[in-house]
Structures are given as C-alpha cells and as structure tokens.
C-alpha cells in the first residue's frame, strides 16, 4: 500500500512516517509545505529509504496537489497537515483558516476526483483519514468526557478551523461518497515536537535555566497521549475503521498543567540535577492566562477500544521520562528547528 501523508515533516507526521517506514511494509509519500513547524531534519534517518518520497507542497495549492496524486497514485490518504498552535491562532487566525479549512477542502476535492476514476478493486480499498483534535468539543467541567457524539463547541480560532475541517470531511462522505474516517485525539507529546507546546517549552526553559511560564493558576486539565501510541491508533483506524465513522483517541492520562510541569522538574532533578540545594521547580513562574483558555479536556476512548482493540502502551510517567531524555540528548535538533523561527517567547497575548 502507498500512503500519502500530509504534514509528514511536523511533530506527529514525522513520527507517523518514521513508524510506517521502519515497522511496516507500506510506502510513504510525504507532502509538506515546510512551515516553521515542519523540518526535514526530523526525518534524516529515513530520507534515503526506498519506500519513502518527499514532495514539498502547500495543500492550499490545488493544482500542485492534483499533480502529486497523478504522479504517485496513492492507495490511502492520512491528512495531518494543519496549523495547530492555539496561541499562534490568536496572534494570526488567517493562516489557520487557509490551511485547515481551504487546504482540507483541496485535499478532499482532489481525493474525490482521483477516487472516482479508480478501478473497482482499488476503489474498494481507498481511504481518506482526517486527523483532528479534541479541542473541537470545547471545554469540560470537572466531570464527564468527550465521546464521538459530543456536540462541537470550539472556543479558539484554531479549534474552530479544525471543527470546520471535520465538517467538510463528513460532507464529502455523505454527499459524494468519499470513503472518509476521522480521528479526534487528545494532547500529544514526545520526540520531535516543535518547542512551542507545553512539554518541550518546559524542558527547554528548565535546562537553559530560564523561568518556566505557567498560564493562570496552572489548573487547566488535559488528557495526555504519547505520540507513538497515537501513531499506532491512526494506523489501526486506517486499516480497520468503519467508513464514515469517527474515533476518539485518548491516553487516559488527565493531569493539570502544573502537575505536568512538576513531573518534568522532578525527572530533571533526578537525571540532570542543578545543585543539591536548587530544584528546577524554583524556575516556575505564573503568568497571565491565555485568552479563552479551555478548562478541561478528557476523552472517552471506549469506541476505539471496543471496536478496534486499541489501547495505549505508554504510561504517562514512562512517556514523559523518555521525552525529557530525548530533548536532553537532542539539543542540536532543537537549536536547528527553532533557529530564526522561534525563541521560546510567549505567544497569544492580547
């Protein structure tokens, strides 16, 4: 099978592409615009693999995407390309509207035009998997979980753009018969995450002896999912998911942001201590909260567990320790991907 992956040079995408190339027999065509968050450095270890091809392209360029389909004749699409950082969506919503909505439309329409011309056997196997987020559901109170029937209630430009893209995918299934699938996942973490999200920000601030920023009181709750577990779940949905269905992917790891930060500090105290008297937690600094900051996300992953037999392999403790060690060992990667792009500064303030 030849899988066309959009956004394959980003955080989740590069982990997905690497996993497919190293652990399956599938062929990958990686389509990526190489924005600030996408970097081929993340894929240097597989760039010469005969099963891997890279195409630099913007999913907003309809004709370019059409030509890539004609050139490679994919058997499946895994659509991850997206602008994904809430803070950046507050500073500049337009890129999120263009990429996440217009870009997804282009992917759907090119896929549909391509799908209609496939011979019957290839048509039966073709799939379009759209990767989305739990943020489309809005914010939870102290109790309850998001499931596949939860009404959409996005609160940020980012989540609104992803909600729009989800609705487009469903429309192309119901109206045109394109064989689509959707996954909505909880907060991912792990190696190769661009250093603007919470966990890499905390790690890099800590090891550089900079103040660790905590939004508000740090009591916002997220459900954390190790990226390799997410990769395995996506591939499970692609192979075995029911056409037209949505699957929520969660890690069953609800923690406040402050708990995550203290966990990282404690790991660093143990494996890379400052001094006997100084702890990394002394760097924690509370800052003004993000505008419209959702209080709690939590996913009920019962459907994917029951229907597809998926469950995460990584505990939060194991996953975070592995992630901390990876960033400590790969500071050259961090420096390369943020050079002239990002300096760990605060984004998304009004």
pLDDT digits (tens, 9 = 90+) for 257-307: 999 999 999 999 999 999 878 999 999 999 998 888 889 999 999 999 999
* 53-89 pLDDT, tens digit each: 999 999 999 999 999 999 999 999 999 999 988 888 9
Q: How confident is the model at residue 344 (pLDDT cuts 50, 70, 90)?
A: low
121-157 residue pLDDT tens = 999 999 999 999 999 999 999 899 999 999 999 999 9
Find the catalytic residue in 158, 192, 215, 247. 158
What is the CATH topology of the domain spanning 2-194+225-252+295-314?
Rossmann fold (3.40.50)
Lowest mean pLDDT among 106-110, 167-171, 272-276: 272-276
Q: Are 100 and 164 in contact (CB under 8 A)?
A: yes
Task: Give pLDDT, residue 145.
Answer: 96
Domain range annotation of the chain:
2-194+225-252+295-314
Q: Is 63 helix (H, G, I), strand (E, B) or coil?
A: helix
134: annotated active-site residue: yes
Distance CA 247, CA 159 (A): 17
Does pLDDT of 317 surpass 70?
Answer: yes
Q: Which residues lie across from 129 on neighbouring strands?
A: 78, 181
- Cα dist. 205→25, 26, 71, 199, 279 in Å? 39, 38, 44, 10, 13
Are the C-beta atoms of residues 258 and 214 closer than 8 Å to each other?
yes
Averaged confidence pLDDT in the chain: 95
Catalytic residue check, 44: no
Q: For residues 287 and 210, what is the distance between their CA atoms, to the nearest angstrom?
A: 14
CB atoms closer than 10 angstroms to residue 45: 10
Spatial separation of the C-alpha atoms in residues 35 and 83, rounded to whole Å: 9
Catalytic residue among 135, 223, 254, 294: 135
pLDDT at 349 over 80: no
Catalytic residue, candidates 32, 134, 166, 196: 134
């Amino acid at each position: 099978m030849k899988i066309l992956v959009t956004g394959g040079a980003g955080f989740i995408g590069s982990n997905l592409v690497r996993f497919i190339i190293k652990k399956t027999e599938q062929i990958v065509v990686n389509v990526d615009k190489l924005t600030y968050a996408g970097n081929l450095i993340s894929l240097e270890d597989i760039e010469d693999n005969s099963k891997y091809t890279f195409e630099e392209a913007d999913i907003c360029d309809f004709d370019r995407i059409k030509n890539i389909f004609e050139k490679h004749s994919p058997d499946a699409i895994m659509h991850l390309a997206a602008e994904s950082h809430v803070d950046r969506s507050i500073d500049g919503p337009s890129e999120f509207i263009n990429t996440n909505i217009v870009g997804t439309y282009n992917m759907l329409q090119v896929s549909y035009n391509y799908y209609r011309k496939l011979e019957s056997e290839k048509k039966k196997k073709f799939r379009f998997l759209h990767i989305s987020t739990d943020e489309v559901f809005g914010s939870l109170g102290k109790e309850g979980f998001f499931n596949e029937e939860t009404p959409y209630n996005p609160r940020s430009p980012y989540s609104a753009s992803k909600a729009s893209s989800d609705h487009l995918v469903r429309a192309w299934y119901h109206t045109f018969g394109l064989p689509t699938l959707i996954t909505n996942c909880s907060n991912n973490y792990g190696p190769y995450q661009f250093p603007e999200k919470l966990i890499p920000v905390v790690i890099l601030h800590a090891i550089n002896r900079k103040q660790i920023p905590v939004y508000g009181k740090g009591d916002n709750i997220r459900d954390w999912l190790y990226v390799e577990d997410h990769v395995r779940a996506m591939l499970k949905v692609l192979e075995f998911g029911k056409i037209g269905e949505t699957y929520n992917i969660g890690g069953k790891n609800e923690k406040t942001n402050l708990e995550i930060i203290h966990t990282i500090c404690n790991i660093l105290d143990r494996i890379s201590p400052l001094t006997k008297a100084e702890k990394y937690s002394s760097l924690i600094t509370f800052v003004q909260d993000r505008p419209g900051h959702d209080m709690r996300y939590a996913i009920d992953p019962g459907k994917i567990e029951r229907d597809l037999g998926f469950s995460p392999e990584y505990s939060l403790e194991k996953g975070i320790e592995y992630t901390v060690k990876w960033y400590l060992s790969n500071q050259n990667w961090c420096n390369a991907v943020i050079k002239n792009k990002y300096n760990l500064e605060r984004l998304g303030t009004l």
